[in-house]
């Protein structure tokens, strides 16, 4: 399966992705990587606080097939908010941070624990590519988002006051 992270790796270096997929090149997470992961998880929890009636799909606690089936089942409801909704098409996998269905309209929200879009020198706007990958996979699954939004931290916010996030 090719997930969003793999897609981003391939955009930077297709050779690196090939080596990672074959297990030839592995990298132990650095202290910085672990910190970023921790902060990202903490931010995800805060994002969920903005949508108190949302439902977590979270495939890590079951099988991926169950998460995909649960996502499809939940999206039959007319108004719902899902966290980590699972979509898979021809070995492309995305776990959407937030999917909101209101009045038949779908909104995909890519939540990022940064205070602005991340820009890479190679082709700019990594976060936009993250959202585009998810939009593509969701669309191929029959759930094309009507809106796509990027959510970032407000740099004036102070933890844990989420009203300033």
Token pair for residue 130? Answer: 């993250």
pLDDT tens over the chain, length 165 residues = 766 666 566 566 666 656 676 777 767 767 766 666 666 667 777 778 888 899 999 776 668 889 999 999 999 988 999 999 999 999 888 889 899 999 889 999 988 766 555 555 555 566 678 888 899 999 999 999 999 988 877 666 555 555 554
CA distances to 52, 79, 107 from 102, rounded to whole Å, are: 15, 5, 8
Rounded distance between C-alpha atoms, residue 123 and residue 49, angstroms:
33
- Find all residues with CB under 8 Å of 118, minimum gap 6, and list them: 112, 125, 126, 127
What is the chain's length?
165
pTM above 0.85, yes or no: no
């Amino acid at each position: 399966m090719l997930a969003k992270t793999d897609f981003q790796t391939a955009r930077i270096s297709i050779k690196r992705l090939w080596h990672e997929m074959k297990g030839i090149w592995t990298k132990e997470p650095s202290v910085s990587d672990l910190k970023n992961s921790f902060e990202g998880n903490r931010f995800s929890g805060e994002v969920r606080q903005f949508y108190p009636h949302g439902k977590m799909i979270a495939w890590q606690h079951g099988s991926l097939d169950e998460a995909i089936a649960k996502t499809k089942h939940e999206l039959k409801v007319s108004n719902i908010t899902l966290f980590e909704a699972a979509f898979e098409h021809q070995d492309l996998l995305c776990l959407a941070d937030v999917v909101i269905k209101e009045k038949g309209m779908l909104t995909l929200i890519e939540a990022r624990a940064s205070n602005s879009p991340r820009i890479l020198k190679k082709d700019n706007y990594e976060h936009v590519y993250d959202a585009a990958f998810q939009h593509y996979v969701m669309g191929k699954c029959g759930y094309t988002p009507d809106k796509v939004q990027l959510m970032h931290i407000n740099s004036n916010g102070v933890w844990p006051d989420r009203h300033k996030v």
